[in-house]
Structure 1
Amino acid sequence: MNRDAVRAYYASFGEREWGRLENPDGGAVEFAVTCHALATHLPLNARVLDIGGGPGRYTIWLAERGHLVSLADICPELLSIARNKISQAGADAMVEEVVEADARDLSHWADNSFDAVLSLGPFYHLPDPIDRMRAVSELRRVLRDGGPAFVALIPRYAFLRRTLAMPDERRHLAQPDFIKRLLEDGVFINDIPGRFTEGYGALPDEVSPFFEQHGFTTLALLAAEGIAANSQAALSELATSDPSTYQAARDLIMRTSSDPSILGMATHLLYVGRRSG
C-alpha cells in the first residue's frame, strides 16, 4: 500500500467523506445495510475498534447505542473532522480515543482488547497479499474470542465498472497488463494522480475462505448496496419524490443483500465473521 497516496486521496475528500454516507446518491444504502449488520451481530455495550473509520460516522452511530469506541485511521485530516463531529454529537464520553493507526499494525492495542472490530475500508487499499494477511492477523489479535468482525471489501468487477465510468480512465480497458493484473490478481493500479490509485478487488467466492483460513467463522457476506449498486441516481431521485417508496426500496435492498447472485456486481461487500479459537 502506498500510504501517502491513500492519505492524500482521503484528505482531498474532507467533509465530503462525512456526508457520503447520508447521501442517497452516495453511500446511504451502504450505511443502512452495514448498520443493520452491526445491530444484528454486535453484543450489547461492546468495546469496539473502528479501524479505518475516517471522519467517524460509524463511531458516532456506535457510541449513540451504548458502545465504547476507539477510532483509528491513517488520514490525520479525517481524524480532525472526526474529533469535531464526535464533540458536536455529544459522544465524547463513549469514544475512548481517536488515533492515527495503520490496519497492518495495531500494536497500539494489546491482544484481546475489543469485543468487536470494524474494518470498513483498509482491506481494499491492500493490493499486496502479505499486507492483507498482516491486516487480518492484527484484526484477529486485538479481537476477543467469539467477537464479531465487520470488514468491507470491493468486488473485483467493481473496479472494471468504475474504469468504464471514468472517461479519462477508460483507456486502461485496452491495456492487457492492466486487465491481466486486475482479473488474475485483483490488483487495481491507476496512473491518474489524486484518484483511487491502487486497490484490491476480491472475488466473492474467495472472501469467506480467506477469513476462515485466518481464524474466523463466517456469519454473513453482504452486498452493501445490494440491487441498487448501479442505480444510486434513481434512489436519490426517489428519496426526494417518494420518500415512502424510497424507504421500501431500502428495506428490500437489506432483505436481499445476502443473495449470492448479486455479490459480484456489488460496489462494496461486507464480510461478517466471528473470531473462533
Structure 2
Amino acid sequence: MTRERIIDYYSGFDEWGRLEREPLEFIINMHYIRAHLPAAGLVLDNGAGPGKYAMELARDGYRVTLSDLTPASVDIARQKAKAYDLTKQFEGFHVLDATRLEGLADDTYDASLMLGPLYHLQTEQDRVAAVRELHRVTKRGSMVYIAMQSRMRMAINSLQSPSTGNRIIIWVPFVLLWKRGHSTIRIRADSQVRIILTFRIFNHSWSSTDSIR
C-alpha cells in the first residue's frame, strides 16, 4: 500500500471508533504497555492515528509526543487532547513518516510505541528503516512496543469479508516488547490471549525470539 493510499484510507476511516467498538485490542495492548512502562517519562506514540493510546498515556501522567503519517489523524488527536484537557501533557503533534522521524532527536524517549506502521509498510527496506528510526529516538535501555499482523491474518480478513477488502474485522495483534540496547525482542501474551490468538488467528509459538541487527 502506497503512502498516498494509506493517507486517503485513514483520512476517511474512524480508527478511534473502531477501537471503541472492538475494545479487546486496546485493552490487551494497554495491559502490556502499562506493565513495562517506567513510572514517569516522555513517551513517543509513532503511527498513533487519532491518538487513543496517546490520550490514555497522557491521562496516566506521561508526557507524550504523537506522530502519524495522516494529517487528518493528527488533527483529530490534537482535538481529542483539547477536548479531554490533556494538551499540556503533549510535547507535540507531528505529521511524520515512520521511516523518517525528522525533527525527533536521538535518545529522547523513555518508551516508544509503534502499533500501526509495520503492517502498512510493504517492503523490508521500509520496515527496517522504521525499526531503526524507533531505535534511534528511544533512550538506551528503554522499552519499545511494536504491533504487527501476519500475512495469514490479512488473508483471513479478506476471505471473511471480501466486500471490505483488507479492512481489519477482528484483530488481536501480538505486541513485541523490545528493550533498546538488547539484541532480541520477545513476544509476550498471557495464557488467555494466547488461546485467542492460536484458535482465532494463527498458530504461532509465543515463546520465540527474533534477532534485530
1:262 maps to which of 178, 187, 198: 198
1: CA distance, partners of 2:8 / 2:183: 32
Q: What is the percentage of aligned positions where both structures have the same residue?
A: 34
Matched position secondary structure for 1:59: helix
Displacement, 1:19? 1.5
Deviation per CA, 1:122-164: give whole Å up to 9, x if none.
0000110000110111110101111111111012211111111
Q: How large is the RMSD of aligned CA atoms in angstroms?
A: 2.9
* CA gap 1:216/1:46 in 2 versus in 1, 3 angstroms: farther
Q: Which has the higher contact order (CA 8 A, sep 6+)?
A: 1
Structure 1 runs of 4+ aligned residues shifted over 6 Å read none
Which residue type is aligned with residue 4 of structure 1?
Answer: E
Q: Distance in 1 between matches of 2:100 and 2:117?
A: 12
Counterparts of 2:138 and 2:195 in 1: how far apart (Å)?
28
Where structure 2 has 5 or more consecutive residues not aligned to the other structure, the ranges are 168-173, 203-208
- Distance of 1:134 and 1:39 partners within structure 2: 26
State the alpha-carbon separation in 2 of the partners of residues 156 and 18 from structure 1: 24
Query: How many positions carry a matched residue from both structures?
Result: 197
State the partner residue of 2:15: 17
Write the letter of the residue equivalent to 2:60: R
What residue identity is the alignment partner of 1:217? T
User: Which of 33, 39, 61 is equivalent to 1:44?
Assistant: 39
- Which has the larger helix fraction? 1
In the aligned structure 2, how far is the partner of 1:261 from the partner of 1:40? 20
Does residue 163 of structure 1 match 2:170?
Answer: no
SS in 2 for 1:145: strand
Question: Could you say if the C-alpha distance between residues 255 and 32 of structure 1 is closer, same or farther in structure 2, counting changes exceeding 3 Å?
Answer: farther
TM value normalised by structure 1: 0.64
- Quote how far apart the aligned CAs of 1:36 are: 0.2
Point out where structure 1 has 5 or more consecutive residues left out of the alignment.
Answer: 170-189, 197-203, 223-253, 267-272
